Structure 1
Amino acid sequence: MVEVFKTNVQEADEAHSIIQRLLEHFPDYLINFDLEDCDKILRIKGEKIDSEKVCKIVGQTNADCSVL
């Protein structure tokens, strides 16, 4: 399963930090950002992705996150 999220993450360092935080909760997920995309895409691949929890964790970093 692949889930795609729209974010407002601008910097690679911020994206890396968010990925590390997400991997603490979801170590089996494959996670990446596409900061070149106008929607600053966060893409997660894994089984049974908990979109609400992902958005909550990203939100704790003061970044916006919503499912596309």
Structure 2
Amino acid sequence: MSADIAKMKQRLALMLVVSAVVFVAAGAGFYLYFGQGQSWGRWVAVVALAIGFAGQIGLVLSLRRDSKGA
């Protein structure tokens, strides 16, 4: 693990914010698709979920990259 705990906490906080935003966006997309019958709502949800997964993978890879240098 990286010795820079402050940097790790900052990345985790950023990931939590990104996850919260994409969770709300995906929920809104599902509501639009299933509740309001808007066909484009499903794509909002899919894109939001893809961004969320990409952010999670980016966090893990950045922590892994930093641990190799330690």
Does the pair score TM above 0.5? no
Task: Provide TM-score, normalisation by structure 1.
Answer: 0.32
Structure ranking higher in helix proportion? 2
Could you state the TM-score of these two structures normalised by the residue count of structure 2?
0.32
Larger proportion of strand: 1
